[in-house]
Amino acid sequence: MSVLENISVDMSIVLGSTQLPIRQILKMSRGAMIAFDSGQDDPTQIFVNGTLVAKGRVLVEGERMSVEITEVLPKGMAI
């Protein structure tokens, strides 16, 4: 067993983002839609421990979703 197998990392997949006033969020009800700043063909951003490390695209097969990595970014790449 590798010593690396027990190390946890925090991974986030970002589909898009937006900025909304809190008053607008408080008025939302079930079924409300929030528009992102990206389209369906734009790449997702993959963060590990808060650092952008790659870009990818979302794949959907039936009930399952996954992310295909399409680009690994150079070390020190800023967003």
**pLDDT tens column, 5-17:** 889 999 999 999 9
- Contact by Cβ (8 Å): 48, 33: no
Q: What are the pLDDT digits (tens) for 23-68? A: 999 999 999 999 988 888 889 999 999 999 999 999 999 999 999 9
Write the Ramachandran bin of 5: left for phi over 0, alpha for psi from -120 to 50, otherwise beta: alpha
Question: Is 77 contained in some domain?
Answer: no
Q: Are 18 and 36 in contact (CB under 8 A)?
A: yes
> Residue 79: inside a domain, yes or no?
no
Enter the tokens of residue 56: 């990818």
Q: Which domain holds residue 24?
A: 3-72
Residue 58 parent element (H or E): strand 51-61
Amino acid 2: pLDDT: 82
Let me know if residue 55 belongs to a domain. yes
Number of domains in the chain: 1
Residue 24 lies in a domain: yes
pTM of the predicted protein model: 0.73
Instruction: Look up the CATH number of the domain holding residue 38.
Output: 2.30.330.10
**Mean pLDDT calculated for residue range 16-20:** 92
